[in-house]
Structure 1
């Protein structure tokens, strides 16, 4: 089914984003920029919902840019996974935009909302595209926006330094992905994901416009897969490429910190699923090497789960605490998606959705305490004055803990557990249990701070209308 909405959504967000600087030459009222951004974000949710409904009713949707059939032109292809995560990303973009209208106060708000909407366009573009190179373009849009937003508080030297470090390593990561795209094009004569997937499974196939395969496609496919996985583990903050998240995330504005752990990391995991299952999936010519790469990813996921859990329990900065919690849970998601089974992918997706919603909820609620008393976890007692925020914070922690059957976090870990048992990965089950138990110590610790630490009464004017 051809759907124009899927193609329009990222382009519309991009257009609305880069119209703002021009509008700022005429309009100076900061309230206009806030309303403009909220309307754009809500429109994105409506369009993403329309795409998702169409996909779940009628199957995968597609759009050919310029009317050019693949593999000649760029195609957007949205299946159930892309539609679900696209809707989730649009929803979180709208929540962060609304939250920003309360938290962000600056004469540069038009630049802030320009970058925020561009980040949303890049993330949804990555989820909707069916083209390897277009994925790179949207990944660059996402990344460049993130670099700018980390350094938004330009008077803070730590924010500028964190942004520069993040940008340098991030550009290396995306460059490796670009190299992967070059390798794919050189071997398969195409950048269309479906076309590459077809030739990876049937190298003798000859496709109009893209031809057949060239050279040693087994070696080139393995190289492309390895290079792209390095990029995706960086974006998903998987050990040992996790270091940027606790560094950059705390220095970004709180609404952006929420998107870092809920959307940007999500794109890394999504990219890994696309390459491991859609492009170079089961039955492809790179199958033996693919299995080795998935084993490496599984080990790295296990290390991420344990390292993240161990480091979060000793944090005194609430933003760094949430960052390490994300690293641990992304590790569990990678352990699941690298099992090579349908149930493993399902478990990974549920884990990703659960983590995104929970980590974003933690940032939105903790942001109130940060405004009132700073980032130290001892200041979480400030949340007791704001009942809804304190309840949201505790719910987010309990969902991440994953031991309460009322929450999706429990069932996501159950699915991960079942997927591991099915393939006989008992050691992985022990990692799941250990990381859950260790991180649970940290979650309970934060709940105690909310309940028992000194209640701080913030004097910031943004707190006056909250109850």
Structure 2
């Protein structure tokens, strides 16, 4: 590549990524050269500022037209902008949780903070990738950083066990995903997603339907590990429980956003473009039954196993599994409102999940455990924390007046706006939502109707309290005025044009 070509690219469209790279390098250098007596928690604020600056730079880039650079391996389009906003907002909230994480078992504080940045960088490259190679590099950057974050508490047995299970399952999922992507490359002769889509639409693939099916199943199964959908979810409860609470928040919210973004990018661009039935349908629609079965099993098993959990973090892990099943419903239905429904639900889930884990972090720090009984009498020991956690649990349960309710209603309706309607899957969604009330309300019951073991007041750190209040306000505002988020989405993100234009 000559210098003239190199300078002709719109490099400013990668400004958020450049900022994250710069601050990750800065953090690593500061951690290396600062004296041992310097409190490494101050580095957390440097990382927070880096994510904030990247967020502001992305806001300035929102009106910018969609463009591709580096031979269409990096795409700055509406899809990427929409999901990067979620990634950056979620990581900022997680950074505040990490800065106020007082666990003495985390000795390598500098690494702890800049690994969040490298994981975020991998996720951002994933959502903007226009090529299988860069997409896979971003996926592995996110995954490897996450493995280390889970194992950052080196002397904690649960953390070590969680990290081992996560690495083994992650390695298997990576191999399966790569195997599926190799079939796609073999069928099209290209790793560029746009070129692959054009070849698929113009080529005759009727004689290789079996290979297409193999590519679809392998890729979907491999990425299902990342999403923690059934039956590829077994790593999630142990990892959520064994990891530090900020890492759990990152995996449960930010990593999940990245996982669904890569699924949408790959499957809509490739399998959504393969014609079936003489152009009347697509291969993605042809595989609706398979996706529907995975969604149904995920919702049922995730919610039913959560009923027996006594660890709140494990309970939220199974809740996360169930929510992955909910998000598969609009993806399976392939409704005209697919993108806005999934974006809004991920936005709502980001606030309610991180907010709930912020309260869990406060209680776990004060009591020393995340056992369900640790929340007994929380209303008497800290009324504000009890109210905040109640808001998040009601939103996760889908109670009216919260963002979670709006998200679930739109997902439920997405099963009916297509022809034929998916009545069975919608009924399973409603039934499992009712089941989830039991374990969400069991926590509320402990907080308001059980006596605490100690009468000592729990005083949350100011940063955690701010995160909890911000997430609660966002949860309520999006529940009462959801049009604010939808108007913002439709004003700045013409996502369908990225796939159909």
- Specify the alignment match of 1:210 in structure 2: none
CA 1:458–1:327 in structure 2 vs 1: closer, same or farther (change >3 Å)?
A: farther
User: Which stretch shows the higher mean deviation, 252-261 or 373-382?
Assistant: 373-382
User: Which stretch shows the higher mean deviation, 4-13 or 365-374?
Assistant: 4-13
Q: CA RMSD in A?
A: 2.6
Give distance in 2, aligned partners of 1:12 and 1:220: 41
Give per-residue Cα distances to partners, 1:373-398, cap 9 Å, x unaligned.
11111112474344443322111111
Give per-residue Cα distances to partners, 1:205-233, cap 9 Å, x unaligned.
xxxxxxxx9x9654443332222111221
SS in 1 for 2:370: coil
CA drift at 1:295: 1.7
Give distance in 2, aligned partners of 1:132 and 1:49: 27
State the TM-score, normalizing by the size of structure 1. 0.87
Give distance in 2, aligned partners of 1:119 and 1:382: 37
Give distance in 1, aligned partners of 2:98 and 2:353: 17
Q: Mind listing any 5+ residue stretches in structure 2 that lack a counterpart?
A: 1-8, 466-501
SS in 2 for 1:103: coil
CA drift at 1:343: 2.9
| Count of aligned pairs between the two proteins | 444
Q: Write out aligned runs for 1:280-429 (5 A).
A: 280-282=271-273, 284=275, 289-373=283-367, 374-381=369-376, 383-384=378-379, 385-404=381-400, 406-422=401-417, 423-429=420-426
CA drift at 1:466: 8.1
Q: Write out aligned runs for 1:13-412 (5 A).
A: 13-28=20-35, 29=38, 30-51=40-61, 53-54=62-63, 59=65, 61-65=66-70, 69-70=71-72, 74-79=73-78, 81-105=79-103, 106-203=106-203, 218-282=209-273, 284=275, 289-373=283-367, 374-381=369-376, 383-384=378-379, 385-404=381-400, 406-412=401-407
Higher relative contact order (CA 8 A, sep 6+): 2
CA drift at 1:18: 4.2
CA drift at 1:271: 2.1
SS in 1 for 2:67: strand
Kept in 1: contact 2:118–2:141 (CA 8 A): yes
CA drift at 1:11: 4.2
Give distance in 1, aligned partners of 2:310 and 2:301: 17
State the TM-score, normalizing by the size of structure 2. 0.82
CA drift at 1:365: 1.6
- Residue among 14, 32, 49 paired with 1:7: 14
Q: Mind listing any 5+ residue stretches in structure 1 that lack a counterpart?
A: 205-212
Give per-residue Cα distances to partners, 1:69-91, cap 9 Å, x unaligned.
33xxx222322x33222111101
Kept in 1: contact 2:390–2:444 (CA 8 A): yes
Give distance in 2, aligned partners of 1:330 and 1:19: 35
Kept in 1: contact 2:377–2:449 (CA 8 A): no
Q: Please say if 1:447 is aligned against 2:454.
A: no
Give per-residue Cα distances to partners, 1:65-111, cap 9 Å, x unaligned.
3xxx33xxx222322x3322211110110111112111145431001
User: Which stretch shows the higher mean deviation, 252-261 or 17-26?
Assistant: 17-26
Give distance in 2, aligned partners of 1:346 and 1:76: 20
Give per-residue Cα distances to partners, 1:441-463, cap 9 Å, x unaligned.
11111111122334446799975
Give distance in 2, aligned partners of 1:150 and 1:62: 36
- Specify the alignment match of 1:209 in structure 2: none
- Specify the alignment match of 2:483 in structure 1: none
